[in-house]
Chains A and B, each alone.
Chain A
């Protein structure tokens, strides 16, 4: 198939349109027995017209034909240790370290050292476990926010919230990141895992001061911290929660 040489130049040049030639239709054009009508055609999902292209797509997915993108090798580096105090993991690949860091040190509550998979869950945790203003407000209004991203429902108690998540969102009743706050005495040595479930090797301090649930405004000794403690620094000058994707954690 030979294309006119000027075509590539036309593509490279700027946008523009030809001045259309005048349109002048004769009614005899569509007269029987002729029936041509110029019209755009649409094809629905399962139309056979798409068969060839669909098969190509699936061949690609199954990797039989060439991949579109190049995949680089994972870079290896001289072994290094995690910089976080108390952590002695060693790595020789930045990807491994990234995952370790985000899992164990990324979204960590500064009060009780629990780690969370996302900033969203960490925020909810701090609010509900460590913020006494939250406790006060929750007596009067629905404060327990549904944990499912995109759902704006709020509830009076964490129990109600759990019921909602189970019923409406089909979440498991024992969803690990929605444990009800247990009241603890300072002497309790309960691991921050779940009862009946083995704590996964966390050697982390539990916040031992009881969190005041009673709304005693006067002389409240419980420090009501700002939700994002500015003193938090995992040795990296990092903001909690890695909300900004620009923050690179690969350097150590």
Chain B
């Protein structure tokens, strides 16, 4: 059976043609490039880490045609069960190599034999055959994935069985095949993968659920997903179950939650039918999960929570743009100012551990505050302006977003601006005016305008602190000059 030790998911790199273990930074560059080319494909490989038996070679060799045939024949026709199993084990090891995979698929009748073994009543043979398929599923070649097509109806059938290890294996195999080939997806949909997953998601086994989430996330990332896949997923019972997996509490499993949070993200950002999800309580569930995450972040030094935080933030942010939020009482749950507290705790966590996720957190903050006097007030009453300003130096993108949130607050009128001044805001603005990035400066100008409008006393202080000189620096810049001029006028008249 599968070794369930920590290291069972072996780090292999499959996208952008990079092979072998690399440093995370280098790997990150390769993945970034792949994403830009919209070819970001990652697979999961379950591989038994158990040490080899004595007498067997430790290094898997590439198998030639004769050897593949021989192993298949032994597996199919051998007399001793151990012998048949052993033959499949040897085949499976050979299939770790792309060359063997190619040899296998080119051999006539090989897949037919393997499927026959997969569907045999010999439990351990069945398992080994499934593992061989799993190795094949990891290939980067869509021809190999397509060669596995005869097996898919059986993989789906076995999802409604009861052997959790086997189901897990089938799910990871399916997930890998799904991501590799559109032909596979075109077959799996009519074969009933959505109802099969909907039935399987009721499994009590955590490993099965995590595997299911993985397979589903691969299905949802398909290019044709918004038109061809997501509608039937939304019509099934899957959304309700997914949300259940995300409910905070003692039953929440982080590995499972991560997968389903990403599934939800792919569904929501495709904008097929988000009001339906809101109707299922998505906002409420995700909001509570956010609170839970903030609590967890405070308690433990463990990294990995950002893997769950990221999709949750994205889902919430995108859902908040739906008109349905206003009408379906979603507003109710999200008037809870604990959400703001939780978000800042997460922002601090990102600041320390994963600054690249700060924009995502600030995105949610923008969407929370844009149309909500209540949340803007919370930011003021909870003394969160100063922490927010502390994020300004991180990057230009972050600066713009921080300034946008501040504008969200300031634009609500004098009552709000009074609470923004005096304080660290004006010095911070004078500082950002010194940036060279046009967008940062532009947003600073917008904020200044609002501040001057609703809190005219600020003008004097601005002038005293060499504000005019700060403005002058940008008066030649095309995108900024009109606003610079307007502010100069206001300042001089004030």
Contact = CB atoms under 8 A, between A and B. Distances in A.
Interface in B5-19: 5-6, 8-15
Contacts of A234: none
B374 A20 contact: yes
B153 A171 contact: yes
Interface stretch (B341-349, B430-438, B458-466): B341-349
A17 B331 CA distance: 12
Most buried by A among B27, B123, B262, B419: B123
* Interface size range on B against A: 35 or more
Contacts of B356: 52-53, 56
B191 interface: yes
Given A11-B345, A63-B11, A201-B122, A71 B390 contact: no
Contact of A148 (B6, B195, B384, B445): B195
Contacts of B202: 245
B351 A59 contact: no
Given A1-B348, A45-B266, A62-B12, A71 B6 contact: yes
B285 interface: no
B330 interface: no
Interface in B273-298: 291, 294-295, 298
A149 B371 contact: no
Nearest to A17: B335
Q: Size band of the A side of the interface?
A: 35 or more
Contacts of B1: 74, 93, 95-96, 99
Contact of B42 (A38, A42, A62, A106): A62
A68 B412 contact: no
Contact of A54 (B35, B308, B363, B377): B35
Given A18-B374, A18-B381, A41 B5 contact: no
A40 interface: yes
Nearest to B357: A53
Interface in A160-200: 168-172, 175-177, 197-198, 200
Nearest to B487: A34
B303 A66 contact: yes
Contacts of B28: 55, 59
B366 interface: yes
Interface stretch (B55-63, B87-95, B140-148, B449-457): B449-457
B415 A24 contact: yes
B191 A171 contact: yes
Interface in B437-494: 443, 445-447, 449-450, 453-454, 482-483, 485-486
B373 interface: yes
A38 B407 contact: yes
Contacts of A169: 153, 190-192
B408 A172 contact: no
Contacts of B9: 63, 67
Contacts of A57: 42, 262, 307, 310-311
A217 to B, nearest CB: 36
Interface centre among B5, B9, B13 (most CB of A within 10 A): B9
Among A32, A69, A202, chain B packs the most CB atoms within 10 A around the CB of A69
Contact of A51 (B36, B255, B342): B36
Interface in B135-174: 150, 153-154, 157-158, 160-166
A64 B9 CA distance: 9
Interface of A: 1-4, 6-8, 10-13, 15-26, 28-29, 32-36, 38-46, 48-74, 93, 95-96, 98-100, 102-104, 106-107, 115, 117-121, 148-151, 168-172, 175-177, 197-198, 200-202, 242, 245, 249
30 contacts: A2-B387, A4-B383, A6-B383, A10-B382, A16-B338, A18-B337, A20-B374, A20-B376, A21-B419, A23-B412, A24-B413, A33-B482, A33-B485, A40-B366, A40-B370, A40-B371, A53-B314, A54-B35, A62-B11, A63-B9, A71-B5, A74-B2, A103-B126, A117-B160, A121-B157, A149-B196, A151-B195, A168-B190, A170-B191, A175-B153
